[in-house]
Structure 1
Amino acid sequence: MKFGDISIAIAVIGIIVMIIIPIPLGALDIFLSLNIALGLLILLISMYTKDALQFSIFPSLLLLTTLFRLALNISTTRYILKDGNAGSVIETFGNFVIQGNIFVGLVIFLIIVIINFIVITKGSERVAEVAARFTLDAMPGKQMAIDADLNSGLITEQEAKIRRKEIQQQADFYGAMDGASKFVKGDAIAGIIITIINLTAGIGIGVIGRGLTVGEAVSSYALLTVGDGLVSQIPALLISTATGLVVTRAASEANLGQDLLGQLFGNNPKLMFIIGGVLIFLGWLTPLPSIPYTILALIFLITGFIMSSTIKKTEEEEQEIAEVSEVEEIRKPENVMNLLKVEELELEFGYGIIPLADANQGGDLLDRIVMIRRQLAIELGMVVPMVRLRDNIQLNPNEYVIKIKGVEVSKGELLFDHFLAMNPGTAQTDLEGIDTFEPAFGLPAKWIPEQDREKAEILGYTVVDPPSIIATHLTEVIKSNASSLLGRQDVKSLIDNVKEEHPALVDELVPKQLSIGEIQKVLSNLLKEQISIRDMVSILETLADNVQVTRDTDMLTEYVRQKLSRYITKKYADNNYLKVITLDSELEQLIMNSVNQTETGSYLSIEPNKAQDILHSTLKNVERLTSVGLQPIVLTAPVLRIYFKRLTEQAIKDLIVLSYNEIESSIEVQSIGMVAL
C-alpha cells in the first residue's frame, strides 16, 4: 500500500512534467493507448457499481484523467507542429477515419466532438447540479428521520452514526460531482480549441516553414489533427458517458446491466408480443422492407414466450418454497410461544358490526379508538395499550365484547342502523322505540330508527350513534381498569420520559430508594381511584421526599394524593363549593383503634357486624345524595381515608373518599350527611 501511494504521487507529478518536458514518440504511443484503456476501465466500473458511494473517488479521478489528456494533447501538438509526425497511434487513427477523404474525416470528427460536448457533457453537468442541490436540501429531513428511528429504538447509536456518515458522504460526493463535471466540459472545449490550433498552425508551418504546397500541408496536417483529436476524444467520450451513468443512477441493489435486463425484459411478456405484432404489421402490410422487420418480430415474440415460461416457473418455485417454509415454520417448537401471548386490550365484535370498523365501508371506529387513547393520555397521564380489533363469528351479529388480558370484562349489543336515545331527565314526552340499557353506564334507553333522530333531539333526548356507543363503553372500561393495565414496562417508559428533563430527580429516586415495582404500586393506587398520574414530576418528588419516612406504598400514595390536592380539588369541587358526607367522631375513633400495623404494611381489623352497620349507613347517605342528583363524596381525616376506602370499595365500588388535606383551603365545604354507627 505504501508503494502504491508513492507511485500515485509520482504519476501525478509526471503528468505535470509532461506538459513542460517533451517525451519520446514511443512513450507517447504507450500513454495514448493507456488513456483509452483508462477510459474503458472507468466506464465499466461506473456500469457495474451498485451505489455511487462505491466509486467515491470518481470526482478526483475526473480531474486527474482530464489533466492527463491535456498533457498528452500538449505533447502531441508539440510533435505535430515541430516535426509533422506524432507517432503511429495518431497516424493510424487519422488514416482509419479520413480514408483518403479529408472533408469527410473532418466532418465525422466534428460530429463526435459535438456529441460529446453538447449532448453527453452538458446533460451530465445539469444532472450533477440538480442531484447536488436536491441531496443538500434533503439532508435535514434525512437527519431527522435517523433521530426519530434512534429515539424510537428502531436502530442503535452505532447504526445511527453509520447512516449519518453515509448521508454526509452522499452530500460530499454529489457536491464534488457538480464541480467535477466542469472538468469534463472544459476538456471538451479545450479539445476543440487544440484541434483548430493544430490544423491552422500546422498548415501555416507546413507552407511557410517546410516548403509544402497548400494541398500537401492540408493533407498532412489534417490527418495528424484528426488522429490526435480522435485519440483524445474517444477516452473523453468514454469518461463523459461514465460521468452521466454515475450521476443518473437511482438507488438500486444491482448493477446497470442487471437493472436494464430485469426492467426491460423481466416483468411483462405482453409488451414483447405487442411489439412483435406491430413489427409484423409494418413489415408485411407497409412498403417497408419485410425481411428485417420479420426477423425483429420473431426475436421479440420468442423473447416474450421465454419470459412467460420463466415467470411461470419462478412463481411455481416461489410457491413451493413458501409452502415448505410455512410447514417448517409451523413445526418449529418456539412458535408455540406466540400462542401464549395475551393481548392487554381486545375488542371483539360480530360480523354485523364489521362495517363500523372497516374504513372502506365508511366506518370510523379505528379513528375513534386513536382519539380515545389520546384523550385518556391527557386525562389519566398513561399510555393506553393498543386495542386489538377482532371479528368473532361465535358472537351474535351485533354483539361486541371488551377483553382485558384475555378475560371478558364487559359486553354490549347494538341495533344496527338505529340510534340510542337516552332521557337526561329533562325530556317530558315519551318516545316510541325498543327498550334497552346503555352499555357503559347501565342507563335506561331506547333504540330508535334513523328517521326519528331529529324528533328525539327536539324532545330533549340525548341521541348517540352506534360507533359512539362502543367508543364510550370502551373508554369507561379502560378508565375503570387503568390500574391493571399499567405494567412495569409502562412505568419505566414514563420515568424515562421524566428523566429527559429532570435527570437529577430520577437518579435520586430510582433505583436507589424505590424500585420500579414500588412506584408502579403507587401509580396503580392513584389510577384505581381515577386520579391522573400525568404530573409525574410532582409524584416522583413527593415519593423522594417521603420515602425516608415510610416505604409502605399505601402511605406513600396518601402523601402523593395530598401533593396533588390542587388537581383533586378542581376535579370534585364545583365553583369553590364542595358538598360532602362526613364520619361520626365515634366511627373515626373505632376505625383508628382497628388499624393493625405489620412489617408488610397495615390493615383494618373490625368486627363484621360493625362493618355491616358502617356500610349500611354509608349506602343510605349515598342513595340520598344520588336521588337529588349530587355526587356522593365522603370526607375523612387523612389517616383514615385509605382504610375507609378499603372498607367500602367492595359494596360501593365508585364511592369517592377524600381527606381534609386533599382539599384546598379556599374551598367551602358543606356536610350534608354523616356516617355513624
Structure 2
Amino acid sequence: MNDILNLRQLLTSANLRQLAAPILIVMILSMMVLPLPVFLLDVFFTFNIAISVMVMLVAMYSKRPLDFSVFPTVLLVTTLLRLALNVASTRIVLLEGHGGGDAAGKVIEAFGSFLVGGNTAVGLVVFVILTIINFVVITKGAGRIAEVSARFTLDAMPGKQMAIDADLNAGLIDEKEAKRRRKEIAQEADFYGAMDGASKFVRGDAIAGIIILVINILGGLFVGVMQHEMAVGEAGRTYTLLTIGDGLVAQIPALIISVAAGLVVSRVGDEGDIGGLVIAQVFSNPTVMTLTAIIIGVLGLIPGMPNLVFLLIAACLGALAWLRWQRVAEEVAAARPESEAPVQQPQADAMEASWNDVSQVDVLGLEVGYRLIPMVDKGQDGELLKRIRGLRKKFAQEVGFLSSPVHIRDNLELKPNGYRIALKGVEVGAGEAYPGQFLAINPGRVSGPLAGRETTDPAFGLPAVWIDTATRDQAHALGYTVVDASTVVATHLNHVILNHAAELLGRQETQALLDHVGKDSPKLIEDLVPKTLAIGTLQRVLQNLLEEGVNIRDMRSIIEVLAEHAPRTQDPLQLTTRVREALGRAIIQSLFPGNGEVQVMALEPGLERILLQAMSVGSEGGAIEPGLADTLLRQTAQIAQRQEDIGLPPVLLVPSQLRTLLSRFLRRAVPSLKVISNSEVPESRTIRVTAMVGAQG
C-alpha cells in the first residue's frame, strides 16, 4: 500500500515536470548507444522538427530576452538531440541502406528523394548551402551580438545598480522592487554570457554535420561494395541519397534554432512581439511606403523588366500607403478638438469681476523653464513626475503626514533650463538643470578635476560640474557623485520640503492626520480634540516638533501625552516640552543610532547660571545681554563646525528650562545644530561631553 502511495506521489504533475528533463537527457544519450527501430527514428525526427519550430515561435513572441531565459539550455538540449539522431540514423543507414530508399525511414527518404528530386548533386549543393547559411551567416552573427551584448551588459551593471539605489533613496521604489530589479540585471548579464557560449553549440553542430555527411558517404560506399556486393555506382547513389536526406532532416531544424537564437539576441529594449514591432516600425510611415511604391512602379515601366510583378508590388504598396494616410488623417482629426481650443471672440462689454477671478496660492509649487517641460510632461512620461510622487510617499513615511501636492507649471520668464520652488507663492529654492546631462557633485574627496559647466549643487551647495554622458564613467572613477537632471531637481525639492515641513502642516493636514489616527484609536481622538485641546493648539505643537526636525510618526504617543497634560496647560511651548520628553528615546536614536555614547556639546557652568538667571528675570523668555549673545553665537558656531569635522552631529545639551530659548536663538546662526535637554536623554544612554561652550573668554 505504501508503495502505491509513493508511486502516486511520484507521478504528480510537479514531480513529472521535474523528471521531464532528466528523462529527456537519458533518452537522448540512449539513442547514441542503443539501436532504434525505423518507426521510432521517424517519430524522433518529426519531434525534432516540431521542437525547433516551437522554439522559434516562442522566441518571436517573447517580449524581452529574459522572457526566454532558458533558451541557452534549450539550445544545448536540441543540439544534443540532433547529434544523437545523426548517430542513430547513421547506424540504420549503414546497416539497412542496401535495402532501398525507405530502409532508414520515411522521413529520411522524403528529404532525400522528394525535396531534392532524387538528384545527388542537387542534394549535396542544397545541403552545403544550408550549412553555409547556418554556420557563416546566422550563427556567426548571433554569436557576435551575444558576445558584444554580454560585454556591454557587464559594463553597464554598476550604472544600473546606482540608478536603482537612487530610485530607492528617492522613494520611487521600495526595497522589494529594488531587489527584483537587481536580480533582473544579474539575470540579464548571465543570459547574454550564456548565449555567447551557447552559440558555439550551433557552430559545432554545423561542422559536425559536414563531417558526418562525408563519413556516411564513404562508409556507405565501403559497406555497400565490400559487404553487400553492390555496384560502385549503385552503392554511391543509394547511400548518398540516404546520407543527404539524413543531413537535411537534421540541418533544417538546426537552421530554425539558429534563427531563433538570432531573434532572441538581436532584440532591442522595446517590449512586444517581433511581428508586432516590425509591422509597427517598418510599415507605420505612409511616406516611406509611398516613395517605395513610386520607385518600384518606375522600375516596372522600364522595358525588359518583369513589368507585371513590379507593377503588382507597387500597387500593393500604394494601397497600404493610402490606407495608412487615411488612418493618420483620422487620428489627427480625433486629436484636434483636445489640442486646439476654439478661439474666443472678444466680447463687446467687459464682464464683471467675480469670485472666480480670485485664485488661491499653491501651498507648494514648482515652475520650470521650457527646456525642462519634457521632464514634467505626463504625455512624454516625464521622469521627474515619478520622482515627485515617490518623494511625497517617502516624506509621508518618514515625517508622519501627507504634504500638499506639488503643483507644476511652466514659466517662460525663467531661464530655459531654470526652475523655481515656491512655498505659498514665495520662492524658497531655485536652480538650473540640463536634461541629457549629468551633475557630478564633489563630496570633498575627488582625485581630479572634470571638464564641464561648473556650478554648485542646488540642494546642499557643494561644488559640482555639469558633464556629458561620455564623461560619466570618468567622473565615477575620480570619486564624484553623479546624478541625472531629474534627480537634481527632485533632491532639491525633497530638501526644501523637509526644511519647511512645519509650514506644510496646515489646519487641513492636521485634521486629516487626526482622522487617519482616529480609525485605529477613535476614543483617544474624541477625548482630546476638541473637548480638551483645540485643533489649532495641536497644530502648533506638531509644528514646533517639525521645526526642530522631530518627526511626528508616533502620533499615538503624542496624543497620549497631550491628553495627560492638556487639562493643566494650553501653552503650546510647554506641551511641546512634555511631548519631546516622551519622544526622547526616538529623538536621541535619530541623532546617535545604536546604544553607544551620546557625545554632545554642553554649556560652561558659569554661562549656564547666567542664562538661567536671564530666563527668570522679566517677561517669559527673558533677555540675553548683546555682548554675551554675540559671544554665544560665535563660539557655538565654531564648536559645532569642529564637531562636524570629526564626524559627530552638532548637538548641544542644556537644561530643559533653556532648551526652547537656545534652540530658537541658535537655529538661524547654526541651522544644523540640534538642542536637546537633559530630560530627553534616556537613562540607558551614557552622556559624554566633547566640548564646552563658554569655556573661553
How many residue pairs align between the two structures?
430
TM-score, scaled relative to structure 2: 0.53
CA 1:666/1:232 → structure 2, altered by over 3 Å: closer, same or farther? same
**Who is 1:469 aligned against?**
none
Deviations 1:46-91 (A, max 9, x none): 1111112221221111111111111110011011112213112111
Q: Tell me, yes or no, if structure 1 residue 42 matches structure 2 residue 61.
A: no
SS in 2 for 1:155: coil
Q: Distance in 1 between matches of 2:277 and 2:46?
A: 31
CA 1:487/1:290 → structure 2, altered by over 3 Å: closer, same or farther? same
Q: 1:406 aligns with which of 418, 425, 441?
A: 425
Question: Which stretch shifts more, 163-172 or 223-232?
Answer: 163-172
CA 1:319/1:20 → structure 2, altered by over 3 Å: closer, same or farther? farther
Q: Tell me, yes or no, if structure 1 residue 117 matches structure 2 residue 132.
A: no
**Who is 1:487 aligned against?**
502
TM-fit CA distance, 1:254? 1.1
**Who is 1:88 aligned against?**
106
CA 1:207/1:287 → structure 2, altered by over 3 Å: closer, same or farther? same
CA 1:12/1:666 → structure 2, altered by over 3 Å: closer, same or farther? same
Whether the 8 Å contact between 2:501 and 2:547 is mirrored in structure 1 is no
Q: 1:594 aligns with which of 590, 595, 618?
A: 618
Question: Which stretch shifts more, 139-148 or 21-30?
Answer: 139-148
Deviations 1:516-571 (A, max 9, x none): 754545589xxxxxxxxxxxxxxxxxx99x979x9xxxxxxxxxxx95999xxxxx
Q: Distance in 2 between matches of 1:662 and 1:390?
A: 51
TM-fit CA distance, 1:633? 6.3
Deviations 1:372-411 (A, max 9, x none): xxxxxxxxxxxxx999897699xxxxxxx998523799xx
**Who is 1:240 aligned against?**
258
TM-fit CA distance, 1:102? 2.0
CA 1:315/1:214 → structure 2, altered by over 3 Å: closer, same or farther? same
SS in 1 for 2:229: coil
Q: Distance in 2 between matches of 1:489 and 1:6?
A: 62
Structure label with greater radius of gyration: 1
SS in 1 for 2:209: helix
Deviations 1:242-297 (A, max 9, x none): 1111111112221011001111111x101111111111221214542322111111
Q: Distance in 1 between matches of 2:370 and 2:21?
A: 67
**Who is 1:263 aligned against?**
281
Q: Tell me, yes or no, if structure 1 residue 29 matches structure 2 residue 42.
A: yes
Q: 1:54 aligns with which of 67, 71, 86?
A: 67
**Identity percentage over the alignment?**
40
Q: Which amino acid aligns with 2:181?
A: R
**Who is 1:194 aligned against?**
212
TM-fit CA distance, 1:323? 10
Q: How big is the alpha-carbon RMSD for the aligned residues of Structure 1 and Structure 2?
A: 4.9
Taking the TM superposition and a 5 Å limit, the aligned residue runs for 1:476-555 are: 485=500, 487=502, 517-521=543-547
Deviations 1:192-211 (A, max 9, x none): 11111011111122222222
**Who is 1:227 aligned against?**
245
Whether the 8 Å contact between 1:343 and 1:388 is mirrored in structure 2 is no
TM-fit CA distance, 1:666? 5.3
**Who is 2:25 aligned against?**
12
Question: Which stretch shifts more, 280-289 or 218-227?
Answer: 280-289
Q: Distance in 2 between matches of 1:402 and 1:10?
A: 66
Q: Distance in 2 between matches of 1:262 and 1:17?
A: 47
Q: Which amino acid aligns with 2:86?
A: N
TM-score, scaled relative to structure 1: 0.54
Q: Which amino acid aligns with 2:58?
A: I
Whether the 8 Å contact between 1:346 and 1:406 is mirrored in structure 2 is no
**Who is 2:160 aligned against?**
142
CA 1:162/1:389 → structure 2, altered by over 3 Å: closer, same or farther? closer
Q: 1:210 aligns with which of 228, 244, 247?
A: 228
TM-fit CA distance, 1:309? 1.0
Taking the TM superposition and a 5 Å limit, the aligned residue runs for 1:368-387 are: none
**Who is 1:177 aligned against?**
195
Q: Distance in 1 between matches of 2:51 and 2:241?
A: 25
TM-fit CA distance, 1:104? 2.1
Unaligned segments of structure 2, at least 5 residues: 1-12, 98-102, 342-355, 373-404, 414-419, 429-495, 506-540, 551-576, 585-599, 605-609, 634-653, 670-690
**Who is 2:646 aligned against?**
none
Whether the 8 Å contact between 2:52 and 2:257 is mirrored in structure 1 is yes
TM-fit CA distance, 1:26? 0.9
CA 1:15/1:35 → structure 2, altered by over 3 Å: closer, same or farther? same
Q: Tell me, yes or no, if structure 1 residue 252 matches structure 2 residue 267.
A: no
Deviations 1:318-377 (A, max 9, x none): 5668899xxxxxxxxxxx9xx867345889xxxxxx9xx7789xxxxxxxxxxxxxxxxx
Q: Distance in 2 between matches of 1:286 and 1:299?
A: 21
Whether the 8 Å contact between 1:19 and 1:71 is mirrored in structure 2 is yes
Q: Distance in 2 between matches of 1:148 and 1:24?
A: 63
Q: Distance in 1 between matches of 2:326 and 2:229?
A: 73
Q: Distance in 2 between matches of 1:142 and 1:40?
A: 35
Q: Distance in 2 between matches of 1:212 and 1:316?
A: 79
Unaligned segments of structure 1, at least 5 residues: 325-335, 348-353, 361-384, 394-400, 410-480, 491-514, 525-542, 551-561, 567-584, 596-601, 605-613, 626-631, 655-660, 668-677
Deviations 1:148-203 (A, max 9, x none): 11111110111111111211221222222122111111111111111110111111
TM-fit CA distance, 1:3? 2.5
**Who is 2:145 aligned against?**
127
Q: 1:78 aligns with which of 81, 91, 100?
A: 91
Q: 2:294 aligns with which of 261, 277, 288?
A: 277
**Who is 2:563 aligned against?**
none
Q: Distance in 2 between matches of 1:7 and 1:140?
A: 38
CA 1:306/1:388 → structure 2, altered by over 3 Å: closer, same or farther? closer
TM-fit CA distance, 1:312? 2.3
Q: Distance in 2 between matches of 1:143 and 1:483?
A: 26
**Who is 2:317 aligned against?**
300
Question: Which stretch shifts more, 313-322 or 299-308?
Answer: 313-322
SS in 2 for 1:22: coil
CA 1:344/1:27 → structure 2, altered by over 3 Å: closer, same or farther? closer
Q: Distance in 1 between matches of 2:549 and 2:254?
A: 74
Whether the 8 Å contact between 2:601 and 2:693 is mirrored in structure 1 is no
